[in-house]
Amino acid sequence: MLCNFGKDTNSSILFHEVDAKMKQVEFFSKDEKGIYFKNHGTLKKWLTQKGTKLNFAMNGGMYLTDFSPLGLYVENGVKVKKMNTTKTAYGNFYMQPNGVFYLNKDGSGSVCERTKYKDSSSINFATQSGPMLVINGKLHTKFRKDSKNTHIRNGVGILPNGNLLFAMSKQKINFYNFATFFKSKGCKNALYLDGFVSRTYLPSQNWKQEGGSFGIIIAEIE
């Protein structure tokens, strides 16, 4: 679904709502040979070979030069990378507070500030990124409406009904306007995932970005 948002931002936001208790949502990083997928096209091909259909995919957080996660990463209940607790460093990831998006084994999802995240055997997938976009119903206090810091951006929020809301700007947008989109949808908490590398695969909306080069991928499959 496309949302033309804001008279002055020229932003068109592609978004996808999913009930992860009813649909299968998973995080992917490497294949069985330990090779990073890096993009949706590679993941789609790998899944197809296994008889699995890719319905939606979006890059799922920031990464290092070797494509490993920059922060906490849990895949299929296994903690692959521990929490990054660095508070002061260059980059959006370190704009405090940053946060975690995670899925429990029952499909319920949450977005929370890093300091509020607790390890649990019930957590099936988790990714750390930053900054938080919406915190307890309010925009991150460092965002400015007139900011000229614009990029393609993607993120995730939790809707009032508990469903997941994934969104990516089709055009460059600042943090304030991107976060406002999530707030306008009723998300009490939302997390920024990444910027100019952002790609989304959503064939139901005729949007198929299969290229690019990034780390974690969040996908809806069947």
Domain parsing of the chain, residue ranges: 2-85+99-221
CA–CA separation, 28 and 41 (whole Å): 13
Q: What is the pTM of this model?
A: 0.94
pLDDT of residue 12: 86
pLDDT at 2 over 90: no
CA angle, corner 184, sides to 181 and 189, nearest 5? 80
The DSSP line for 56-120 is: EEEE-S-B-TTS-BSS-EEETTEEEE------S-SSGGGSSS-EEEEEETTS-EEEEEGGG----
Task: Give yes or no for a contact between 167 and 101, defined as CB atoms under 8 angstroms apart.
Answer: no
Averaged pLDDT, 194-201: 95
- According to DSSP, the residues that pair with 30 across neighbouring strands are 36
pLDDT of residue 6: 39
Predicted confidence (pLDDT) per residue in 60-115, tens digit: 999 999 999 999 999 999 999 999 999 889 889 999 999 999 999 999 999 999 99
Predicted confidence (pLDDT) per residue in 23-72, tens digit: 999 999 999 999 999 999 999 999 999 999 999 999 999 999 999 999 99
